[in-house]
A and B are shown apart, each in its own frame.
Chain A
Amino acid sequence: MPSLTSSAATSAAIARARENAINRGSVDADEICPVCKSSRYLNPNMRFLVNPECYHKMCESCVDRIFSQGPSQCPVVGCDKILRKQKFRKQTFEDIQVEREVDVRKRIAKTFNKRQEDFPSLKEFNDYLEEVETVTFNLINGFDLAATEAKISAFEQSNKATILQNAAKAAQEAQFIQAQREFEREQHRRARELEQEAEAEEKRDKLEHRANLLKALQADDAEFEVAKVNKLARKKSSMRKENQERRAKELEAARNAPAFQFMSNLNKPISEEPPKPYDPLDGFDETNKYFVYREKYENPWLQDALNDRAMLAGGYLVQQYCERAVFEAFSGVGCFIEDPPLSDNLSVSFDTPMTDAVAG
């Protein structure tokens, strides 16, 4: 029996503590879910979520419990917003007002994304900014909501194309910044590597020099050998220095030069090269200099071939034979023995076609 009374006492104590905590204010409100009154003390992994519809805070398990079955009304008393589970997210700012304002500003920035270069003068740009600010303020503080919304959708309608364009531009810029950062990181890494490498090289050279020196001292003509080894070491170290300097310079040049060049191209629309008119032969000339093919060649020897049904059915083309005969008859025309053979300059490039390959 005593155990029972004690447990009843404990639960009463917990309830009291809860009440206190809730009433005490914001610090402890972080510890207790306003919907289910579960406290962090009982569930250390508790996470709070808000929905940008009404920004009422509740714990994750409440969200699961209430909204798993589909959209439902906000459980906070007096709030009649219908919420969806998908929209719940973690709160970024402690102050829910700030959170809300940031959301509104994000939304506005998506639509009102004009840039200064879209306006003829600074004044017009400033007027535009003021207008945007008014809209934002109205939304945040709930003035003239209907009129403001109408204004926004009207703006969206009339500026569809520019909005899209500017969004693409912004994406491009973000991409560029990302690339730039990566490039910088890479540069740093390379510089570090270079330094390490140089250090290791120096160490190695030193050791080598010492070993050589010892060997030289053992030799018969010690003095001469030592001088030689020293000279070698000097030469090596100066070479090393030169190398390092050169590499450092290269690195520096790379850092300063090319990565930022495409910044200037950033605002230009991506220029699609105008498609060239289609050339079926890709620049090859199919006209023959010395002859033209005739439609038909009369030759009694070919008559049988033209009438042989089996030959016809197989797809054999007598015309191709005739053309070949004509072609070969003229192949030698224009070729001179004194000229250097074509094959000499053939292997120079894969992509330089002979003008008339078969004539060779």
Chain B
Amino acid sequence: MSATAGSSASSSTTRQNHAAAAPPTRRTLPFGNGHTPVPASVAEHDDGGGGSLSKDGSDASDIDDPDDINTKTKRKYTKDRKLGEGAYAVVNLGHRRATTTDSAIPVAIKKIKVNTEFRDGLSMDAIREVKYLRELHHPNIIALLDVFSSKNQNLCLVLEFLDSDLEMIIKDSSLTLSMADVKSWMLMSLRGLWWCHKAFVLHRDIKPNNLLLSSTGVLKLADFGLARSFADPYRPMTSNVITRWYRPPELFYGAKFYSSAVDIFSLGLVFCELMLRTPFLPGNSDLHQFELICQALGTPTEENWPGVSQLPGYYVPQAENTTTMVKERGKDFFMNTFIAAGESGVDLLMKMIRLDPRKRCTAREALDAPWFSQEPYPTKPANLPKKGGGKGIEKVGSDLKRKAGELFNSNDETSGRGKKVARKLDFGGGG
């Protein structure tokens, strides 16, 4: 998937020759492979100032002209104000203009800066985001409404506007979260994740601030900047994905062949966080993170995880402070820590954060867990605790502009891509 947007765009498409017989150069952005039809509305457009106006009332024969489609798409939306800006994207709050059939709706317009990091095209995150969001349509997945290019050939993603995220809810100490609320959020995120997996897409960056909440309380998976489709057999995937606190053990071991189980593990840790109101395993380095996993869940061994020693980075942490091997934690341990979830809740949690990815449940199996059909029943989305006010908007702005895989907004760090995704864990000689 090479990302080469035609930055040497022919600026010859001016007002004059467009009206004349000379056909406009038809170009498409290069993110279409076998699986993805090139979005019809993704096309470049040279906006020569008022030039777009003359094209508006175009005749029917010109209907498929990408420039025209782009202009039309673009004119559907207006920018209201800026929510945030980062090295990677600018996020504006906007709205879709009201038409005769539809009323105006607020949207977030994420303008991706084309030439900041990649001389030759778009950043990978943007491509992934467009590629997968164009295909995934589910109430619990953020909707990508349209894509168009601005006059500087920046790519603009028009996303459904969502005003808060789960992290804000977790951190807001003025809210009390009942088990019914937690259940409702888990249910919605599992449904979103199930849909991703059903469409053979790995999200690979599940964490509370990528689980956005709409004003009606509906939870939606967002930020597909690290997503990819399931790999073919023998085709390695990178293990440097998923924000550290939510990364499953197999990725720390550098597994190149993994599956949807990685997302389930992350979501399991989000489940813990919803109950504890603080991250369950907040490691301050990859090594520390792995020690935390071993202490909390158990040390991976051949018994509890067949084949684990074959993984490229297999290692048993034996630092001075970590005493001996921890047996894989049983139900008692989780019952003590997460007593509020009840027995069936703990059962579900344990299935989601098993060490061995093959023993973890799938999203579909998790949805069938008895926990969801027991009292207290999941809260209706509209009744879930909400964080109101304009503060939320700003926060989401900063979330959107933050790059995938990053824990915090690190403005001080150099903006190279290598810095933002998880680094490979080097256990010194492990491989």
Contact = CB atoms under 8 A, between A and B. Distances in A.
Given A278-B372, A281-B191, A305-B233, A315 B262 contact: yes
A35 to B, nearest CB: 48
Contacts of A311: 233, 257
B137 A354 contact: yes
B230 interface: yes
A320 B259 contact: yes
Contacts of A358: 135, 198-200
A275 B191 CA distance: 19
Contacts of B23: none
A145 to B, nearest CB: 46
Contacts of A280: 191, 364, 367-368, 372
B260 A320 contact: yes
Interface in A291-311: 301-302, 304-305, 308-311
B310 A313 contact: yes
B368 A357 contact: no
B6 interface: no
Contact of B137 (A275, A317, A357): A357
Contact of B259 (A284, A316, A350, A353): A316
Contacts, number: 120
Contacts of B306: 309, 312-313
Interface stretch (A58-66, A259-267, A341-349): A341-349
Nearest to A319: B259
Contacts of B324: none
B138 A357 contact: yes
B9 interface: no
A321 B306 CA distance: 21
A318 B146 CA distance: 35
Contact of A316 (B257, B367, B368): B257
B357 A360 contact: no
Interface string B363-389: 010011000110001000000000000
Could you tell me the dominant secondary structure of chain A's interface residues?
A: loop
A221 interface: no
B200 A313 contact: no
A143 B56 CA distance: 95
A324 B200 contact: yes
B305 A350 contact: no
Nearest to B216: A351
A281 B312 contact: no
Interface in B285-312: 305-308, 310-312
A302 B234 CA distance: 9
Nearest to B261: A315
Nearest to A348: B102
Contacts of B256: 310, 314
Contacts of B357: 314-315
A339 interface: no
Nearest to A327: B200
A118 interface: no
A43 to B, nearest CB: 45
Contact of A310 (B39, B312, B373): B312
A2 B234 CA distance: 118
A291 to B, nearest CB: 14
Contact of A281 (B360, B367, B377): B367
Interface string A327-349: 11000000000000101001110
Interface of A: 275, 277-278, 280-282, 284, 286, 301-302, 304-305, 308-318, 320-321, 324, 327-328, 341, 343, 346-348, 350-351, 353-354, 357-358, 360
The 3 closest A-B pairs by CB, nearest first: A315-B357, A314-B255, A313-B307
Given A304-B234, A360-B37, 8 more contacts: A277-B373, A278-B372, A278-B373, A280-B364, A282-B191, A314-B259, A315-B255, A358-B198
28 contacts: A277-B373, A280-B367, A284-B138, A284-B191, A305-B233, A310-B310, A312-B307, A312-B358, A313-B306, A314-B253, A314-B256, A314-B311, A315-B255, A315-B261, A315-B262, A315-B358, A315-B360, A317-B260, A318-B233, A320-B259, A320-B260, A324-B200, A327-B200, A328-B35, A343-B40, A343-B134, A357-B199, A358-B198
